[in-house]
Amino acid sequence: MRRLPFELMQFLFHLDQLNELGFSIDVKRPPNHNGWECSITFNGKDTTVSENADMCLFLEEFNEKRSPIMPTLLFPKKKLRNLQRMDVLKKEMLY
C-alpha cells in the first residue's frame, strides 16, 4: 500500500484543529456501497464557524481553475505557486 505524503496528512490534522472551519467526512465502502468513496464537506451556510463560506468560495474557484475544459494558460502552475506563497505569507502575518 502506498502511503499518503506526510504534508497531506499534516494538513488534514491541522484542518481538524481549526475552530474557524467546520467539516464532515463521509465514507462509503463495501459492503454497504458498491464503490469506495470518501469526501470532505464544508457547509457554506454554517454560521457556527466563521470561515466555511470563504472556504466554499475558494473551492468553487479552485474547481473552476482545475477543470479540464479551462486552458492551463489561464491558471499556470507558476501563478498557482505564487498564490499559494502569498496565502501562506498572509496567514503567517496573522498569527
pLDDT of residue 42: 97
The model's pLDDT over 23-56, given as tens digits with 9 standing for 90+, comes to 999 999 999 999 999 999 999 999 999 999 999 9
Q: Give dist(CA 15, CA 95) in Å, integer.
A: 16
- SS (HEC) of 58-78: HHHHHHHHHCCCCCHHHCCHH
pLDDT band at 79 (very low <50, low <70, confident <90, very high): low
User: In this predicted structure, what is the pLDDT of residue 62?
Assistant: 86
Q: What is the pLDDT of residue 3?
A: 82
- Give the count of alpha carbons within 13 A of 80, CB side only: 11
Q: Are 54 and 42 in contact (CB under 8 A)?
A: no
Residues 32, 34: Cα–Cα separation, whole Å: 7
How high is the pLDDT of residue 34? 93
